[in-house]
């Protein structure tokens, strides 16, 4: 160009040399096409890697649900055999075998795990938990056999119980001794140790799966990071090329594009301006923008609804057992003092039988509402079973147990003297204190204290620490 200028200045009539605008436009179009193709390719590839990361997350959630099925199935069997050992109601036996042969939560979880094709090590952990649970079934069925023999109940319809023979050492026991023997089998330390083994195997399963998922996610994340770096480079080059194109095109295109870039940066709808093509583009973009905004809002609401449903009991509206288990896990890492209360609605079955299930549901809602009103906002009430509730009280020591006792006393007064049309009920409450976070045997201690309350007339509140000092708990 400098040579051309010099020639022009010298009066030369040779034609000017340089790049023609038409040729430059063709080059720019070609560069744009190539860059856009690469950008689409990189974007699609990045989308696939993102989908891979999400699939790993979804798989881990599925594995957590399977582990929860094994744990909840085992806990349900424990609950039913313990209820039978305490209340001696054949309904608990029926529910026990219904879980074993009809619902099949534990076996179903292992079958699904095989379909998912997880690693052999992880499968072995969950399979070991199921085997330990199945081994406990023999002990549980024997305990039911003892109770049935003590009460003279005919459980011949249950083949597993019918085929179970009493051991020679138990043949000469009195009915009371048979019941005590059965309770020792399902409440004793040996039984608790076996339950701990099940929990440990499930925990190992989740740790193994989590490790595999984290490795896979990290691998996908590293690849996605490299892809995104390439995408940023392509976008930068495309931006530069676009700026160069703007310098060469007419104001009819430059002006609306400038306005649109500002609108996009400010995350606003595009102004309807410029040529027909740009007006059409703005209308299309605005439609997509509004649709995306609506979809995002809808998805956010759906996610919030799903999380609320997953963590709350549908009947009472307070936290469910799943949320309670998450609290326990979180509080294990805390060093603050706390107390755990296990709460049973006394003789709740009589309410259902005498007044109907609708009245029973209303009673449970009432109990849940009173628990929320009675305890602090920082405390954690939850429904963990049919008529069983739990409350984790944070930042409290045993010196303040009288406050809890007074709260429970007030609750029982309200429930036993209702001002509404609901039947009168009462609460049995067992509690235990921890000076440093939630530990594994805290639930068992609170449950043992609850057992003392039930054995001494129900409708009250006792703490494990007091029961131990008074010698109300058996060593074992």
- Give, in degrees to the nearest 5, the angle at Cα 168 between 162 and 173: 90
C-alpha span between 120 and 114 (Å, rounded) = 10
387: annotated active-site residue: yes
The SS3 call for residue 409 is helix
C-alpha span between 401 and 432 (Å, rounded) = 10
Side-chain-side CA neighbours of 36 within 13 Å: the count stands at: 7
From the number of C-beta atoms within 10 Å of its C-beta (0-12, 13-18, 19+), residue 389 rates as: buried
8 A C-beta contact, residue 368 and residue 381: yes
Tally of residues, the chain: 476
Out of 75, 160, 344, 387, the active site residue is 387
Q: Which of 398, 389, 409, 396 has the alpha carbon at shortest distance from 450?
A: 389
8 A C-beta contact, residue 132 and residue 201: yes
H or E element in which residue 339 lies = strand 338-345
Q: What is the CA radius of gyration of the chain?
A: 35
Distance of CA 127 to the CA centre of its chain: 22
List the structure tokens of 172: 């000469």
List the structure tokens of 124: 């072995």
State the Cα torsion 327-462-140-167 to the nearest 10°: 150
8 A C-beta contact, residue 388 and residue 344: yes
C-alpha span between 304 and 183 (Å, rounded) = 44
List the structure tokens of 228: 């995104």
67-95 residues labelled b (16+ CB within 10 A) or e (exposed): bbbbbbbbbbbbbbbbbbbbebebebbeb
8 A C-beta contact, residue 156 and residue 162: yes
Give catalytic residues, as residue numbers: 387
């Amino acid at each position: 160009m400098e040579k051309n200028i010099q020639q022009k200045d010298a009066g030369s009539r040779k034609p000017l040399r340089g790049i023609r605008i038409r040729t430059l436009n063709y080059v720019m179009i070609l560069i744009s096409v190539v860059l856009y193709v690469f950008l689409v390719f990189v974007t699609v590839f990045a989308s696939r890697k993102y989908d891979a990361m999400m699939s790993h997350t979804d798989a881990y959630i599925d594995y957590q649900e399977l582990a929860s099925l094994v744990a909840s199935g085992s806990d349900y069997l424990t609950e039913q055999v313990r209820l039978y050992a305490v209340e001696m109601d054949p309904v608990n036996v029926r529910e026990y075998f219904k879980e074993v042969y009809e619902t099949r939560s534990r076996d179903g979880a292992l079958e699904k795990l095989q379909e998912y094709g997880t690693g052999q090590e992880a499968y072995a952990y969950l399979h070991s938990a199921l085997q330990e649970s199945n081994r406990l079934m023999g002990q549980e069925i024997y305990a039911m056999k003892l109770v049935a023999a003590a009460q003279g109940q005919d459980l011949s319809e249950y083949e597993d119980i019918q085929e179970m023979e009493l051991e020679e050492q138990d043949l000469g026991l009195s009915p009371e001794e048979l019941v005590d023997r059965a309770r020792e089998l399902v409440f004793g330390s040996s039984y608790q140790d076996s339950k701990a083994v099940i929990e440990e195997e499930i925990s190992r399963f989740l740790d193994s799966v989590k490790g595999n998922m984290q490795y896979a996610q990290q691998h996908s994340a590293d690849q996605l990071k490299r892809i995104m770096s390439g995408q940023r480079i392509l976008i930068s080059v495309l931006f530069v090329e676009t700026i160069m194109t703007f310098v060469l095109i007419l104001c009819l295109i430059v002006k609306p594009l400038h306005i649109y870039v500002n609108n996009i940066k400010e995350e606003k709808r595009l102004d309807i301006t410029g040529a027909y093509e740009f007006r059409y583009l703005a209308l299309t973009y605005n439609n997509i923008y509004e649709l995306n905004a609506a979809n995002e809002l809808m998805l956010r609401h759906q996610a919030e609804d799903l999380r609320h449903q997953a963590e709350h009991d549908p009947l009472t509206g307070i936290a469910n057992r799943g949320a309670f288990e998450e609290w326990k896990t979180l509080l294990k890492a805390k060093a603050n003092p706390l107390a755990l209360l296990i709460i049973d609605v006394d003789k709740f079955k009589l309410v259902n039988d005498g007044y109907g299930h609708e009245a029973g549901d209303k009673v449970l809602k009432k109990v849940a509402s009173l628990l929320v009103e009675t305890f602090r906002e920082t405390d954690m009430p939850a429904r963990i079973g049919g008529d069983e509730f739990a409350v984790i009280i944070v930042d409290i020591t045993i010196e303040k147990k009288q406050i809890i006792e007074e709260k429970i006393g007030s609750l029982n007064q309200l429930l036993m003297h209702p001002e509404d049309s609901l039947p009168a009920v009462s609460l049995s409450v067992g509690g235990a204190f921890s000076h440093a976070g939630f530990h594994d045997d805290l639930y068992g201690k609170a449950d043992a204290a609850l057992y003392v309350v039930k054995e001494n007339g129900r409708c009250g509140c006792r703490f494990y620490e007091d029961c131990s000092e008074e010698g109300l708990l058996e060593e074992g």
